[in-house]
Structure 1
């Protein structure tokens, strides 16, 4: 006889303002414990030293994670010029230095090369897999290896403040898979002075912003109490960038069984577009619109 999953059958998003010094996985584990949730995941890892928006999904909301990770997100970060490190941030060992310092004009000019569709080599200390092993494990062991460049879309990369000759604050809006540490490293190389990340903060991701974020202190103080559920956002928030459609009563059972069914299309919806089916504002299924039908790829249980 199959054993049931432990915990509450609770679904939704918890938007956390992650503090420095804790991993994204540890945040997810604490959130899951605090809510006594059956299932939890997150939409995009933040480095342990990074802060800012970490979107944690509970229950059926985990099925909407791809729509957050694939969307644009924004980071504010401080670059230190004059040194490169083994980790491309301030936690690593300094491996090279330079007395050169760029002007504001030089920084702005160099940033143009990092906007649009670019190729980026992730940091050696990253979760990228090399022949089945994590790159950070190989790096800690002192092994030599190469990481292939990966495509990244950068919508914008701006100089927002120059703190002093050694430091600049930048803001980047990018797509899935971007490494801010690589941007700092490669910018320093382009300017001929080396560079690494001093501070990093994610300020928004998809439809989620820090305005609706909660702290870990709030979560811990309300853990395992009914009041904690007030911090939960509906799973449908993650679908804000997808068209919403409705359906006749006869389609409900077919969708719940994972079968294509008739929908009433939204204005502008075209063949092949992704959309989600709403039942009184709650998501029932997410899939591809094909003519008059939606073919579900994900069914939200409980609607």
Structure 2
């Protein structure tokens, strides 16, 4: 009886801690859930020990949410700092206090600009711009999230932040009250701010009605699983088959090959010899050994000097 009890306790302990798995699970996030709730669902479905995500989506937004598992959490910045694309519908003629459809209407207008006027206004939001985040956002003001203070009725002075917008296009005009836009931008962009500021520039007001992230760095919503699909095959090898390699995050980093001795040194956090082609001195890159990522670092004189070591066990 004793040994059996000990075995069961050990099994339960491993389950509580979760499995040591590393990689990416791409989710096509539904509306109505926070990004954290989606991560928790994926973590449960895979019985994963550690999970995070690469870039928050608002609860009402849909689209690609890249969930990092295990050692992939160390590579999250390479996805969040990559370009991403959004398709969103703007409701013209109304401003809300949240800059989306969940908020209270605070201003209205009967003006409905033409397609030509909208396209002209969009040109001001392309390139390196300064953008003021919404009052209801996760930016910190004096150590507290803006949305918490906004819920208490406070109106805050939020400093403008730099944003790179590669493109912003009018892709559809379903009716006079709505326009559908597609934006490709860098890290830290608020689509709600674009809708608000575009409406202000046109003199008609505007807020986001629907928002979808269609791709983020190397990951596309069309490749993602829905939560219903994840729940259907949770805790099975069928779901494990959808885990994507950690190195898919390295969309902009070149690869070098570690020697046997170099891989051992890199895993211990020391510079290790690598085989590299067309890599500049001091360039950031990632090293692999026998088909598996070992470390990220800077290439110097035939060796990789690691800044992040990845210990992948699955």
Tell me the equivalent position of 2:309.
299
Deviation, 1:291, is: 3.0
Contact residue 243 and residue 266 of structure 1 kept, 8 A: no
Q: Please, which moves more after superposition, 25-34 or 271-280?
A: 271-280
Instruction: After TM superposition, list the pairs within 5 Å mapping 1:109-148 onto structure 2.
Output: 109-148=120-159
- Which ranges in structure 2 are unaligned for 5 or more consecutive residues? 1-12
Deviations 1:89-132 (A, max 9, x none): 00100000011111111111111110000000011101111111
Partner of 2:119: 108
Tell me if structure 2 keeps the 8 A contact 1:128–1:135. yes
Return the alpha-carbon distance in structure 2 between the equivalents of residues 115 and 221 of structure 1: 42
- 1:256 aligned to 2:271? no
Instruction: Verify: 1:290 aligned to 2:290, yes or no.
Output: no
- In the TM superposition, what is the alpha-carbon distance from 1:272 to its structure 2 partner? 2.4
Q: Distance in 2 between matches of 1:216 and 1:97?
A: 37
Q: Quote how far apart the aligned CAs of 1:53 are.
A: 0.4
Bigger Rg, structure 1 or 2: 2
Aligned to 1:188: 199
1:280 equivalent to 2:271? Answer no
1:174 corresponds, among 172, 182, 185, to 185
Q: Deviations over 1:273-297 (max 9, x none)?
A: 2100011221100111223221111
CA distance in 2, matches of 1:184, 1:260: 48
Q: Distance in 1 between matches of 2:193 and 2:312?
A: 42
Q: CA offset at residue 203 of structure 1?
A: 0.3
Give yes or no for the alignment of 1:83 onto 2:94.
yes
| Counterpart secondary structure, 1:152 | strand
TM-score by length of 1: 0.96
1:72 aligns with 2:83: yes
Deviation (angstroms), 1:31: 0.5
Runs of 4+ with >4 A deviation: none
* Matching residue within 53, 61, 79 for 1:50: 61
Match of 2:7 in 1: none
Runs (5+) with no aligned partner, structure 1: none
Counterpart for residue 149 of structure 1? 160
C-alpha separation in 1, matches of 2:155 and 2:65: 32
CA RMSD of aligned residues (A): 1.3
Distance (Å, rounded) in 2 between the aligned partners of 1:272 and 1:81? 49
Verify the 8 A CA contact 2:135 2:155 in the aligned structure 1: no
Matched with 1:33 is 44
Q: Distance in 2 between matches of 1:64 and 1:27?
A: 19
Higher mean Cα deviation, 246-255 or 119-128? 246-255
Give the secondary-structure state (helix, strand or coil) at the position aligned to 1:204: strand
Shift of 1:216: 0.2
Aligned residues: 300
What is residue 94 of structure 1 aligned with on the other side? 105
